[in-house]
Amino acid sequence: MSTFVLVHGAWHEGSAWNKVIKQLEAKGHQAFAPTIAGHGKGVNKNVNHAQCTQSIVDYIVSKDLTDIVLLGHSFGGTIIAKVAEAVSDRIKRLIFFNAFVLNDGDRLTDNIPPDSQALFDKLARESDDNTMMLPSEVWREAFINDADLDLARSSYAQLSPEPYQPFLDKLDLKQFYSLPIAKSYLYCTEDNVLPQGEQWGWHPRMSNRLGLFRLVQMLGSHEVMFSNPIGLAEKIIVAGRE
């Protein structure tokens, strides 16, 4: 049985994994879903990427978790790469789940199309705290395209504004790329948050940066933790097993 630590993406918080965790536990696993610093409702959003990373490191150390299968979703992929550098001896495998795998020296925004960059710039500039709130029509059409309207709305209500600074910080990933930790890429094939294809898509553009990795695919959108949590849990187990 495995110990999973699930790191959410932008706009989300740890509770997004509730149904997935329930299923993982029903299958005999342990699973934890910390909320990244600066994320969630009603918290101070003034964080940078290093502070986001440190909050997950602190969570793992404070609970003294070991032999972890550490999963990062979307933006969470940039977090788990840096967490892996900090506590590599506690981690058995990394799972990048429709997640950013940045090249050494990249910032997240280097890896998204110009129109998304322009949208995020505008949203952050128009906010009073350098955050971006995802437009609801983008959520419905591009993020959770496999949900019905009720689920699209109820899941949107769980989102909160995303601090912009962590998207802009350049990440030193030289150590990450030398770690001998096993890696999986879990890819939902209807994810259209990044335009599919060679230029901007999640897979194989991001995934192939991992070198040797285990590919696991499933049907569904970027947001299967809401639209198919049981199916997602099954694939997380396959991605995480020995």
Using CB under 8 A as the criterion, which residues of the chain lie in contact with a second copy when the complex forms? Answer: 115, 137-138, 140-142, 145-146, 148-149, 182, 189-190, 192, 195-198, 201, 203-205, 207-208, 211-217, 219, 238, 241-242
Q: How far is the CB of 201 from a second copy (least distance, A)?
A: 7
Q: How far is the CB of 204 from a second copy (least distance, A)?
A: 4
Give the Cα separation of 183 and 185 in Å (integer): 7
Q: Report phi then psi at 176, rounded to 5.
A: -50, -45
Give the Cα separation of 122 and 145 in Å (integer): 24
Q: How far is the CB of 92 from a second copy (least distance, A)?
A: 13
Q: How far is the CB of 193 from a second copy (least distance, A)?
A: 10
Q: What's the burial of 110, exposed, middle or buried (CB within 10 Å: 0-12/13-18/19+)?
A: middle
Our CB check for a second copy shows the closer of 83 and 188 to be 188
Our CB check for a second copy shows the closer of 61 and 118 to be 118
Our CB check for a second copy shows the closer of 32 and 200 to be 200
Give the Cα separation of 166 and 116 in Å (integer): 16
Give the Cα separation of 190 and 104 in Å (integer): 28
Our CB check for a second copy shows the closer of 59 and 213 to be 213
Confirm if 82 and 106 have CB atoms less than 8 A apart.
no
